[in-house]
Amino acid sequence: MARPEWVSLLVLWLTVQPHRSLQVQAQTEPACPDISTVRKNNWPETNIELIISQDAPGVSEVYWAPYVDTNYSIDASQYVDVTFNSTAQAIEFTALPSLDGVRDYLQKGYPTLAQLTGTCRMICGSDIGEFQFILLVQDQNTASPQFGSFPRSVNVSEVFPTGLVLPDLVIAASDADADATNYALSFAIKEDSPFSPTEPVKTSDVLPTYTTQLKLEKPLDWAKNAIYQLTVTAQDPGGKSAEITITVNVVDVDTAQP
Higher pLDDT, 26 or 65: 65
- State the average pLDDT over residues 73-78: 91
Name the 3-class secondary structure at 99.
helix
Residue type, 91: I
* CB-CB contact of 236 with 242 (8 Å): no
Is 146-251 the same fold as 37-138?
Answer: yes
Residues contacting 217, CB < 8 A, separation 6+: 162, 163, 194, 195, 196
DSSP type of residue 251: E
Residue length, the chain? 258
Q: In the predicted model, is pLDDT for residue 6 greater than 90?
A: no
pLDDT tens digit string along 194-203? 999 999 999 9
Residues contacting 142, CB < 8 A, separation 6+: 45, 46, 100, 101, 103, 104, 177, 182
DSSP type of residue 76: G
Residues contacting 143, CB < 8 A, separation 6+: 101, 104, 105, 106, 175, 176, 177, 182, 183, 236, 240
Q: What are phi and psi of 169, to 5 degrees?
A: -140, 125
Percent of the chain with pLDDT over 90: 76
* CB-CB contact of 146 with 174 (8 Å): yes
Q: Give me the CATH code for the 146-251 domain, please.
A: 2.60.40.60
Which of 148-152, 168-172, 182-186 has the least mean pLDDT? 148-152
Name the 3-class secondary structure at 167.
coil
Which CATH superfamily groups domain 37-138?
Cadherins (2.60.40.60)
- State the average pLDDT over residues 68-76: 83
Residue type, 181: T
DSSP type of residue 144: -
**Domain definitions of the chain by residue range:** 37-138, 146-251
pTM above 0.85, yes or no: no
* CB-CB contact of 50 with 96 (8 Å): no
- State the average pLDDT over residues 65-80: 89
* CB-CB contact of 182 with 143 (8 Å): yes
Q: Please tell me the distance from the alpha carbon of residue 35 to that of residue 202, in angstroms, as a whole number.
A: 46
Write down the mean pLDDT value for the chain.
89
